[in-house]
Structure 1
């Protein structure tokens, strides 16, 4: 009996031995491509859902993916839209038994004013890898960076040049008539002085892709704030950046 119990205990211990389990995680911009190395990647954190212990973390690396496959071709069941070069983070977690995990993605990690946090949860089974396309989390929005005026810039002229760089969350290009059409995305600057709204100015792409521009005439000297936003009513994507500047005598 003692020998039987010893063998049973040994078999049970072998069964519960930690097994390395792979988990592929990707971040995909809403209405666009995957978030990868070209924009700094997406931060991925895998946690024990019960204790919040971090099991693995890293940044997605790789390309934004195949434009035609992602954006143009019909999507079919079980047909992946990501390939081996498409940005991903691969976690390898040693677990002895099924573990309920939380996957957090913060992206684009290098764009603090545009970062979005997305998360999901699932069971991870020892030795049962989740590879291929893996777990894909969608990241909505636009990355908006105010280029002009610069922060706290002192401007003597009352004619102000407004400029903002606007891209998809994967960094994909926005241009007039392009796949991501600038003429169908609303970009406006909300101008205020002393906390009071003065005017809202529409901006558009002129000479350079991604660069939305407008001129605004501000007669009164003082400190101003410009909130520049992008909005696509077809997808619900939004993005914002702000700048404060000074108009002098």
Structure 2
């Protein structure tokens, strides 16, 4: 009788023992490559959907991936688009039974004005690893950094009145991939425009053109003092990608 009880307890404990289960999560920019170390990574949070507890968290590490494999090779079912160097977050999670999880990706982690939170939910089964490409979450948009004028810059009217006032912005894909004229990410397919506002009212729109890799420029003429705001957006009609950055600056007499 004691032997039967002992065997029953061992069997019961065996069934309840946690099993280490691996899962790979990747963040991929829409119409581009993976978010890797060169951009500061994407931040991953894996939660137990039942109680919202965090099972794993960390950043993706590695390269943006193989350009030919991701962007030029026709996609076939079952064929990987990642390789050994491609950025990933690998989590090992101890679970006792099938667990419904929520995966959140915050990307790009180091560019708050362009940051998106993308999520998905799925069942994680004990001992049934999800490797290879893993779970890929798509990050839409562009990262835009206005370089000129600077945020809250004070500029004397006498220095700019009726002169060419330059606007500059750096625009990249959400993986950091470069934008060029005629390149894989072709600036000819992208509309980059500055919206100029003064004292809260719209003044004009200014089309911006690429002058070197990732750099878009335009110009305006300022005729009066006031509180100015520049909103620069990028838009690609083919991919649906959009991005925005804003700065405020002051022209004083």
Structure 1 residue 245 displacement after superposition: 1.1
Look up the match of 1:217: 221
Aligned-partner SS, 2:8: helix
Specify which of 217, 231, 239 is matched with residue 235 of structure 1: 239
* TM-score (norm. length: structure 2): 0.96
Q: Which runs of 5+ in 2 are unaligned?
A: none
Structure 1 residue 2 displacement after superposition: 4.9
RMSD: 1.0
Look up the match of 2:172: 167
Residues 72-108 of structure 1 show CA distances to partners (whole Å, capped at 9, x for unaligned) of 0100011000011000001111111111100000000
Runs of 4+ in 1 over 3 A off after TM superposition: none
Structure 1 residue 180 displacement after superposition: 0.4
Look up the match of 1:139: 139
Aligned-partner SS, 2:160: coil
1:151-190 equivalences under 5 Å are 151-155=151-155, 156-158=159-161, 159-190=164-195
* TM-score (norm. length: structure 1): 0.97
Aligned-partner SS, 1:113: helix
1:34-183 equivalences under 5 Å are 34-155=34-155, 156-158=159-161, 159-183=164-188
Structure 1 residue 187 displacement after superposition: 0.5
Q: Say how many residue pairs are matched.
A: 248
Residues 131-156 of structure 1 show CA distances to partners (whole Å, capped at 9, x for unaligned) of 11100000000000000000111223
Residues 41-89 of structure 1 show CA distances to partners (whole Å, capped at 9, x for unaligned) of 0000000001110010000000000000000010001100001100000
Q: Which runs of 5+ in 1 are unaligned?
A: none
Check conservation: 1:157, 1:248, Cα contact below 8 A. no
